[in-house]
Amino acid sequence: MSNRGKKHAAARQKIDPKKRYDFPEALRLALDTSFRKFDESVDVAVRLGVDPRHADQMVRGSVVLPNGTGKDVRVLVFAKGEKEKEAQEAGADFVGNDELLEKIKGGWFGFDKAVATPDMMGSVGRIGKILGPRGLMPNAKTGTVTFDVARAVKELKAGKIDFRVERAGIVHAPMGRVSFGVERLLENLTSFFETIVRLKPASSKGTYLKSIAISTSMGVGIRIDPVYVKAMLK
C-alpha cells in the first residue's frame, strides 16, 4: 500500500461513517485528519429536497463569507469611462472593454471572477459561449452585472462565493482552508447556511436539508446531522 493510502486509511479510521456529527466536532475531525502538506480547502456538500428540473425549485445565490475563502481572487471588470476608474480604485485586477474581450477570444483566462456594467453586456454576451462553461459569465442574479462595480469588486475580493444546485439536487461550496481553524470555518458555514435556508423555494415540500457533508479537498467526507443547522443558526 502506498504512503498516501496508509494516511488516507488512518484518517478514515478516525471517522465513524454511520455517525452524524455536529459542525464543531466534524470540523475538528476534518482538520485533524488532513494529511496533505499544502493548505487544503474545506468544502461543504448539501443535498437539498428540491427538483432543479423545475424553475421554481432552482436554488442559486451568493454569499460573502466573513473570513473569505483563503484564495486570492483575481477580478476582471468590463466597464467604460468613469466606471473603469471606479473599478481600478476598488482593487480590480483587470479593467477594460473591447481589448479585454479580444484577449479572451484569443484564449486568455487569467482571472477568477468577472464583473460587467449593464451597458457592456451586449458585447460581453457575444463571448458567453466562452465564459459560460468556465463559470466566468457575469450574472445579475449573483450581483456581477451592476453599475456599482466598486461594491462588486470589494465583495469578490473579500470572499464572495456563488453557488447553484446541481441536477442531482446537491450544492457544493468552499468554506475556507485548513489553516482557518474551527472558529473561522464555523463562521463561514453559518453565513452560508443562513443564505441556503433563506433561499428555500416555496414549492419545496418535505425535508429541505436532506444531507450534509464536509471534507478537506483530499480528505474523507464527514456527515453532518441536518438538525444541527438550526442550532448553529440560533
CA nearest to 12, candidates 33, 28, 43: 33
Nearest to 207 by CA among 230, 194, 226, 224: 226
| Nearest partner of 89 among 161, 156, 153, 157, judged by Cα | 153
Residue 215 phi/psi, 5-degree rounding, is -160, 160
In the chain, the amino acid numbered 173 is A
Instruction: Tell me the pTM.
Output: 0.83
> What is the Cα–Cα distance from 46 to 193, expressed in whole angstroms?
10
As a whole number of angstroms, the longest Cα–Cα distance in the chain is 61
Where in the chain are the domains? 18-69+160-233, 75-158
CATH assignment of 75-158, among 3.40.50.790, 3.90.230.10, 3.50.50.60, 3.40.50.1000: 3.40.50.790
Q: What are phi and psi of 34, to 5 degrees?
A: -70, 120
Determine the pLDDT at residue 7: 62
DSSP labels, 38-81: S--EEEEEEEES--TTSGGG--EEEEE-TT--SS---EEEE--T
Residue with cell 499544502: 38
- Amino acid 2: pLDDT: 45
- C-alpha distances out from residue 125 to 60, 108, 121, 129, 161, Å: 20, 17, 6, 8, 22
Q: Where are the alpha helices (DSSP H) in 46-198?
A: 82-90, 98-105, 121-124, 128-131, 149-158, 181-198
pLDDT, one tens digit for every residue, the chain (234 residues) = 344 566 666 666 778 778 899 999 999 999 988 877 789 999 999 999 999 999 999 999 899 999 999 999 999 999 999 999 999 999 999 999 999 999 999 999 999 999 999 999 999 999 999 999 998 999 998 899 999 999 999 999 998 998 999 989 999 999 999 999 999 999 999 999 999 999 999 998 889 999 999 999 888 889 999 998 988 887
Q: b/e string for 194-219 if b means 16 or more Cβ within 10 A?
A: ebbeebebeebeeebbebbbbbbeeb
CA-CA distance, 54 to 63, in Å (whole number)? Answer: 23
Q: Which residue carries 472593454 as its cell? A: 97
**What does the pLDDT read at residue 1?**
39
What pLDDT was estimated at residue 231? 81
The fold for domain 18-69+160-233 equals Ribulose 1,5 Bisphosphate Carboxylase/Oxygenase (3.30.190)
* Torsion sign across C-alpha atoms 22, 28, 31, 35: negative
β-bridge mates for residue 161, sequence order: 63
